[in-house]
Amino acid sequence: MKRFLTYALAASVALVACTKNEVKPVEVDQEITFQAVVDKAATKGGTFDNGVTYPTNRPFGTFAFFYTPSVGYTKDAPKYIDNAKVENTSGASSGSAWTTNPKYYWPKQGCLTFMSYSPYEELKTIVTCQSENDALAEIKIPNWDVDANQNVDIMIADRVDNLTANGENAGYTGVSTVFRHKLAQIVEFSVKTKEDFGNLDEHNLPQAGSKLFFLQKIEIQNIVTNGTFSSGVKPSNELGAIGIWTNVDPLATNSYDWYVNSETALVKGGAYEFNTTPVALSSGTIKNNGYLLVRPQTFAASDNKKIEITYVIRSYTSATAYSDETVVQSFNIHSATESWDINKKYSFTITVDLNQIYWAPSVENWTDGSSKEVGIN
């Protein structure tokens, strides 16, 4: 009897201590399901009360690592789920709608740590999740070209540790999967004059001394478009867990025409005329219906990453006589902000004076309304 117990114990220890990629899912009563929301839902308590619904038609990918409570999550933890596709097959945003195929079940003993990414189809062949340089596993997306993938909104979910069963939160059942955007977004330029230079007559027509302003072009220049994203190894509630983009070689850059006036004749009252009332310009020439996904990056005073504006000042010497002056001005993005950051969106307000331009960038979290404005002359 003692010998039998010894063999049984040895077999049990061997199962727990198996090497990487050898852990097999064990079918028990509870299937592993997922709760998927986006961004500001996360709190230290893991609740989803303020979450933005994750798109039900967008599968995501997941990894899970197995370990025992006595050992804890380490770099040597074997994979329990390896890049599985998670789909919503019911169309419901709550309950246990998010599942894998094939199904996975919670292990009878031990814990799981989950790491997930989105979207699955666009990233599944290049994404990795493994330990490097004796560190914990992290999700990595190598040499990603944002410019070539303007329709791909990369999101990584907060890492979830020490799970043994599906959770219940605000009508959701499963692994709490809170996604966060890992790119930045340019959403709008607004342009206006500092004061009313029109000096129009009682019929709202130009006269001697009137000055009208016509926007011709706004261009974002020499922006880095590629890089490698690493999610980092820190728990999601620790500072620095947001992840990082690093440069690759060769480094790719591109310039974007945010706005281009396609009209050859400048007519008072046209959409391209601007005055003291800000004219909001959601891009009509850039992909994605008026916003631009950009790789998070830093700016330096010495680089050539700029925003350039071209406009025409029409100066009247009489009601019908005028001359046009084309003005081209640019500013180094570093003079307004030191970086475009992960999970942020940016707007720029451009105020034109006769001899000076004022630039005021506004930054806010991707999914909420909090903002912070700074201005430069």
Evaluate whether 273 touches 191 at the Cβ level (below 8 Å). no
Contacting residues for 247 by C-beta, under 8 A, at least 6 apart: 224, 227
Tell whether 235 and 159 lie within a shared domain: no
Question: What per-residue confidence (pLDDT) applies to 15?
Answer: 39
Tell whether 204 and 117 lie within a shared domain: no
Tell whether 78 and 168 lie within a shared domain: yes
Domain with residue 98: its CATH number is 2.60.40
Question: Which of 138, 142, 118, 119 minimizes the C-alpha distance to 129?
Answer: 138
Question: Which of 284, 303, 307, 357 minimizes the C-alpha distance to 327?
Answer: 357
Tell whether 155 and 209 lie within a shared domain: no
Tell whether 236 and 167 lie within a shared domain: no
Tell whether 259 and 352 lie within a shared domain: yes
How many CA atoms within 13 Å lie on the side-chain side of 36? 28
In a domain, 5, yes or no: no
Tell whether 163 and 66 lie within a shared domain: yes
| 90-114 per-position pLDDT tens digit | 877 666 689 998 999 999 999 999 9
Amino acid identity, position 317? T
- Domain residues for 50? 17-181
Tell whether 268 and 134 lie within a shared domain: no
How many CA atoms within 13 Å lie on the side-chain side of 291? 15
Boundary of a domain, candidates 166, 181, 196: 181
> What is the pLDDT of the chain when averaged over all its residues?
83
Distance CA 375, CA 244 (A): 27
pLDDT means over runs of 10, the chain (377 residues): 36 39 61 86 37 85 96 95 94 76 94 97 97 92 94 93 88 87 92 94 94 94 96 69 89 92 86 86 53 93 95 95 96 92 92 91 72 32
Question: What per-residue confidence (pLDDT) applies to 94?
Answer: 61
Boundary of a domain, candidates 136, 151, 181: 181
Contacting residues for 341 by C-beta, under 8 A, at least 6 apart: 184, 296, 363
In a domain, 63, yes or no: yes
Question: What per-residue confidence (pLDDT) applies to 282?
Answer: 59
Question: What per-residue confidence (pLDDT) applies to 21?
Answer: 45
Question: What per-residue confidence (pLDDT) applies to 100?
Answer: 95
Q: Which tokens is 65 given?
A: 């690592």
Distance CA 224, CA 204 (A): 46
In a domain, 7, yes or no: no
CA dist list (Å): 247 to 126, 251, 373: 17, 7, 28
SS3 at position 289 = helix
Tell whether 141 and 227 lie within a shared domain: no
| Alpha helix segments (H runs only) across 182-325 | 287-290
Q: Is the pTM of this model over 0.95?
A: no
